A and B are shown apart, each in its own frame.
Chain A
Amino acid sequence: QQQVKQSPQSLIVQKGGISIINCAYENTAFDYFPWYQQFPGKGPALLIAIRPDVSEKKEGRFTISFNKSAKQFSLHIMDSQPGDSATYFCAASNDYKLSFGAGTTVTVRA
């Protein structure tokens, strides 16, 4: 049973555009919500993370929006660049285990 649902499966955005990836969860015990970025042939790298006491967190061009009541969180990539082309995984955790979403492949066209 997938505990974190991620959408879309893939998206294409023009350089300079905004990429938006959404995730939803059911387990209200989750207290840590990271986003990982993975390039082909590489391992997942932590991009940004949030805890449920905060509704938004921004780091450079990357922003997490968190809606605790709706049990949803999203990643916004502003001013998307070709170097952002990668697979993005959302995840949720309340202990040692990370429950990952299915992943979103982002392609940024120059």
Chain B
Amino acid sequence: DTEVTQTPKHLVMGMTNKKSLKCEQHMGHRAMYWYKQKAKKPPELMFVYSYEKLSINESVPSRFSPECPNSSLLNLHLHALQPEDSALYLCASSQVQGAQPQHFGDGTRLSIL
């Protein structure tokens, strides 16, 4: 079992829907990350949060909106997504930004109709 928990495991949504992905870690880590992974490809970094503040945005479209309510939780709000946004969305955490290793959750499999 991973120490980074993501919900839901699967999500199907239409292009006009609004949904949220959730990530939780209880390792006391102060850096949390969102990645996108397409089939048979490596993960691609989307956002980095450091001490609950957005630190890095890798030029992600605004239809993806991250939020970090506290040091254990990370959300990714989704709105008006496109079919090409269908992917596995992974959350990861590390002790602080720049520290390794990063620990990954099992992801949310997102399908856009």
Q: How many residues of chain B get a CB closer than 8 Å to chain A's CBs? A: 27
List CB contacts (< 8 Å) of A27-64 with chain B. 32, 34, 36, 41-46, 49
Quick check: B104 and A43 within 8 Å, CB to CB? Answer: yes
Q: A100-B42, A102-B41, A103-B41 are in contact. Are A43 and B102 (CB under 8 A)?
A: no
Least CB distance, A11 to chain B, in whole angstroms: 15
- A-B pair count, CB < 8 Å, reads 54
- Please name the residue on chain B nearest to A34 by beta carbon: B101
B56 CB within 8 Å of chain A: yes
Q: Is B98 an interface residue (CB 8 A)?
A: yes
Question: Across the interface, which residues of B come within 8 angstroms of A96, CB to CB?
Answer: 31, 33, 48, 55-56, 94, 97-98
**What A residues does B56 contact at CB under 8 A?**
96
Residues of A within 8 A of B2 (CB): 43, 45
Q: A98-B45, A100-B43, A103-B41 are in contact. Are A43 and B100 (CB under 8 A)?
A: no
Q: Which residues of A contact B66 (CB under 8 A)?
A: none
B106 CB within 8 Å of chain A = yes
- B91 to A: closest C-beta gap in Å: 8
CB-CB under 8 A for A93 and B104, given A44-B43, A44-B90, A100-B43? no
